[in-house]
Structure formats: C-alpha cells, structure tokens
A and B are shown apart, each in its own frame.
Chain A
C-alpha cells in the first residue's frame, strides 16, 4: 500500500529525517490559517507520480495567489485522480538534489540501498547510474556508508547522507515497508540536507501488525481504497469482453484467461476464489466464496457465458457440483442466467456431471474441452 507524500513525511519527521515545515490543506479556507511564511509550495496529494509535470505543484507568493492555485490543484485530475488534500510547504533553495531509496529486492531476497547524486524528476532515465548496496546480513550503519561512498560523496556529506540512509532503513524495517524513497534529497550550499519529496510503500501482508501505519490505512479505508490495498474474500476484475471466468488460484486463472484469448474468446470479467482457506479472511469458506464469485459474475454486465474452472480442492467434484447447482437454481428462479460451463477434476466426477446436467449445465474434466464448449455457447453474433 502506497502512502501519500504528507503521510510519508510524517513518518520521516518521526524518524528524525529532516523535512520542511508544512501544513495540510483540506479545503480552500485552510489557506487563510497558513502559518508558514510565503513563498510557499502547494502540492497535490495523489498516489501517482508525475505531479510536477502534470501541473500539480505550484509556487505561490501570497494568500490571493495561494487560494487560486489551491482551487486549480483541487480540480486538476492527475492520471484520473483528484486530490483530497494538498500539502503546503515552505520553499527551499537547493544547491544539489540527490536520490536515496531502500527497497525490497525479490531476486536478491534482501533489502537494497539505492543512491545517486543526480536526483530529481529525471531519475527514471538514469536508473543504471544508481549505486546499489545489498543488505545481505543484519543491518549496520556501514552499509549506509558504503552507499554514500559508492555514490561518490566526499567529506562531511559521507556522514550526513549515510545518517539519513540509516534512518530510512530503520523506518523500512520497523514499518515493514516495500519501499522508502527520498527524491529529491536537497543539499543546500552549506551542506544542509532536506527531504523535499518522499515515497513510502508499506507491505500489505504486514499492515495488520503496523500500529504506526494504522492511522493512514484507516484513512484509506474511509476513502474506499480498501479494494486496492486489502484483499477481500472475493473480488471481480472487469475486462472488456463477454465471458465470465471463475477459478481457484491466480496461476490457474491467468492460464484459463490465456486459453480463452488464444481461442479468440473475449473474457469480460474474472473472479479468483483462492484456496480452501484464506488466512487473511478466515471466516469465508470455499463454498461461500464460490457462491459469492458466481454472484459477482452473474451481476456483471455484458457477460454471455460463464466458465467455472475449479481444481484440486478438498471438496469432491460432486460436492462442488452440488454447491454450484444449488446456487444457480436459486439465482435462476427470477431471471434467466447465461449458460455455464463447469470444469472439475477428481473423485465422483460422473456423479457431478449428472447433477449439473440435470439443470442444463455443461460439465467436463478437460480444460481444452471446457474452453471450446464455453466459446460454442456464446450467441453467434457476439462470438
């Protein structure tokens, strides 16, 4: 889960990483309560990058300008998102701008420190010039000094920059982060350091034990970002076609979608009901997730046929067929349902087939057959 800049900076402040005095602007009236002396920078608080280029950052000299700029920023979508909050911050004159990050690297299976003397908005084009230090053993400040020296720093900057890296690492480890980034880290002519912008991504699996982050996550839930940050029991992903897909497991879901596309089908929505037991949602049963998943697909617009592909659960084929049949009959009482193809493998398959056939559902234990059947059931003109 990604945090907003002001939230990241709040964490920086708590860790002792230098940040500028700032205030949150939730509505235009808040501008009048600004205690930071002008000139001030107003920054749109959105989750996507590229704010500056999109016009979401404005320098203002007085209250009148500030109100106008704030009004503009509140109404400026950045990658389709409007800010709920702006951050007003003192303006800072940087002599140089560095880049610093601590990130979890899946290939190295370790946290990695990244740094460059060329920070700022052009960092993406110069990624290969970033210096890297893998934190292979228990962290100790020498890893941070290695980074500072690797970045080519000299003199007192070695100690001051590595002290910030050390704090970033502490934050990373304490809060179970996937990423903490400072870009740019401003260096004043006198060698003073200031984190002008920051990015923090928390690891979703660890949110449950992060009291420090809970105030931010609570806010996100209120803003309806729950679906993006928290895994709910079952979620539907909408695509642009007309075939609904219900599977268990991400790999199998992807493979099933691939097969449909390769056969010139157009999946319109899919649901991954996961394994029998979900640690993050212990109250939901496999049965209830199959039912919820079917409901989500039946309620999706434009779906003309549904393919159910369930493999390797502890339920027998017959048990799964009975769950599906009962639910389809229930939902089919008051409305007509799209045709459904069910693919199951394992014990009691022929009994399962009989149960499904009795309510006109096609059943097969071969994936390729299921794909062909699904496509054959599409109305001719939409196929």
Chain B
C-alpha cells in the first residue's frame, strides 16, 4: 500500500461529470493530481477549485492527455489512477493503466459489467496491481490525500482504519468517529458492484500491517458472503482489535440487489439459503468474537473499549 501526500495521482475520465467535479476537490485536499486522461481532450487543463485552501504554494492547473502513456512521458511515474470513465469504458481504462505500469487503481464508476471486471482482475493479479471498486467512494487518508469522492470534512487524522462496502454509510461512520475524537488512519470503500477488485480480507491484511492503524472498523451490509469470510479471516489472522457494524437488519428481501450483491449461486440451487442474511453475518461475527455495534453512534464507544483492552 502506498497512499501518502507525496503519491502522484492520475485521473482517468477527468472530463466526465464526476471527474470534473472531484479532481479539483481532491487536489484542494492536498492530493497531488499530476495529470488527467480523457481521449480527445489532450492539451486542455482543469483549473483548481475556486477558493481552495492553499497549503503554502499555489495549486497548478491539471494537464489533460489522450493516453496514459503520454501523461507518464510528460509528468513521470504515477502511483495511483482514479477512474471516473463510464461503465463500459472502465475495463479499457483499467487495462491501459496496468499496461502503463500503474499498480494501484481505484474505480469509482458504478455499474461495470462483471465480466469486464473479471478480465481486469485476471490482469491485475498477474501484475500484482491493487484494484479498489468498482462502484465505490474510493480511499481517504485524512490529512494526507483523497482518492475518490469521500466528503473530507467528515474525517480527521487518527488511528482507526475504516473498511466498508457502502458509500454514504461510510461517511456516517467516519462522522461518528470524528465527533467522538477518534481520527482515522485510512478509510476504504471497497465498492458495491458484483465483482470487486479488493475484498475485506485484503484490506484487513493491509491494515494489520499498517503502522498508523491501531483498530479497525468494518462496515458490512446484508447480501453476499464477504462479512462471513471477513469474520473467519479476523479470527484466524488479525491481531488488531476489530469492531463491526452491519446495515440491513430490516431490509425487505430483494430490494437492494445491486448493492447487496446477493450471490446468484445461492439462488441457482439454494446454496446455503441463509448465506447473506443478517443472522448469518451476526453469527459469524459472534463466533469470531468481534463486537458488533447496534447503531453507528455506538461504534466509537466499542472502538475505545477495544483499544483499552489491547
């Protein structure tokens, strides 16, 4: 993992609505956005946020290129690419970034066809590229950098690592932590699409090794089996204290398809009909002795308690 204030960041799809909105905001937070890519817009620039807080030196315009390799030829090595291109162009953008030796990719775009993601992941695994998303708010390292669309004002620097499947619910949890004086070392939204680049397990492992992180908050949802898998992994491998929160106790069945990512396999033939329910997830957390918060506002107290017991 390499996410610091010194990281050099590329935005693919910088001329898309989300790219145009968020690139200057990320830059205003202190993120070093060194270039943007948007085929056809090469040679143009994107101006910094009006009235953005300037830390010492003025913020430069972001140069736009037609190709990732052109951007690298001009601005040098890039650590992370944040992708905002439309869903059907995501696979191409990600493969282009991987081909240009970029080894950290964050896909904000929602609704990427799963088989496109499968192709990206085959390539990513072969090249040891970290992929976050798709359909995620990205990553924020409070006080250091913003890679995505998290609202920075909800976050503060600190020692709690936050991993979540959600967007706005992640912000809610960060806000509760910040209000309780518990800053965050990093917050990651792993995404809500069917096929995701990185799992809870991968991030648990990264945060276990991260020196800035002393406790981990895991925000899960009904559907899929990623919480069950995470719970088992925590019991086996993770030494740092983990607190969980789960949304969707009361969700009517089938209403959160896209997000809850229910495994089709379970529908095919009743593969553990119970997988994905809150009950199954709560039991998994209980078995792994992970405290589960009743509501977002209870998370800080559980984190404090867990930290005291270390």
Contacts and interface: CB of A to CB of B under 8 A. Distances in A.
Interface of A: 99, 101, 103-107, 109-112, 114, 123-125, 127, 130, 136-138, 173, 176, 178-179, 181, 201, 203-206, 208-209, 231, 237, 239, 247-252, 254-255, 257-259, 261-262, 267, 275-280, 282, 311-314, 345-347, 366-368
B214 interface: no
Interface residues of B, number: 70
B256 A107 contact: no
Nearest to B119: A138
B88 A106 contact: no
A75 B221 CA distance: 40
Contacts of B167: 249, 251-252, 275, 312
Interface string B82-110: 00001110000000000000000000011
B234 interface: no
B166 A250 contact: yes
B271 A137 contact: no
Given A111-B118, A209-B88, 7 more contacts: A114-B265, A176-B113, A181-B268, A205-B111, A205-B114, A311-B168, A311-B175
Contacts of A104: 114-115, 118, 194-195, 264
Given A205-B111, A254-B256, A279 B86 contact: yes
A106 B247 contact: no
A124 B121 contact: no
A257 B251 CA distance: 8
Interface in B171-200: 171-172, 175, 192-196
Contacts, number: 187
B109 A279 contact: yes
B172 A252 contact: yes
Contacts of A181: 268
A257 to B, nearest CB: 5
Contacts of B257: 204
Contacts of B112: 205
B112 to A, nearest CB: 7
Interface string B38-81: 00000000000000000000000000000000000000000000
7 contacts: A258-B249, A311-B171, A312-B150, A312-B154, A312-B168, A347-B153, A367-B297
B115 A176 contact: yes
Contacts of A346: 151, 153-154
Interface in B106-143: 109-115, 117-118, 121-122
Interface of B: 17-18, 21, 25, 86-88, 109-115, 117-118, 121-122, 149-151, 153-154, 164-172, 175, 192-196, 219, 221-222, 224-226, 229, 247-252, 255-261, 263-265, 267-271, 294-297
Contacts of B267: 179
A345 B257 CA distance: 28
Given A107-B229, A203-B114, A258 B172 contact: no
| B112, B175, B192 interface centre (most CB from chain A within 10 Å) | B175
B268 to A, nearest CB: 6
Contacts of B297: 366-368
Given A106-B194, A249-B166, A312-B151, A368 B295 contact: yes
Contacts of B18: 276-277
A99 B271 CA distance: 14
Contact of B247 (A127, A208, A255, A313): A255
Contacts of B113: 176, 203, 205-206, 209
A173 B115 contact: yes
A103 B249 contact: no
Contact of A261 (B117, B118, B249, B270): B249
A104 B121 CA distance: 14
| B151, B224, B265 interface centre (most CB from chain A within 10 Å) | B265
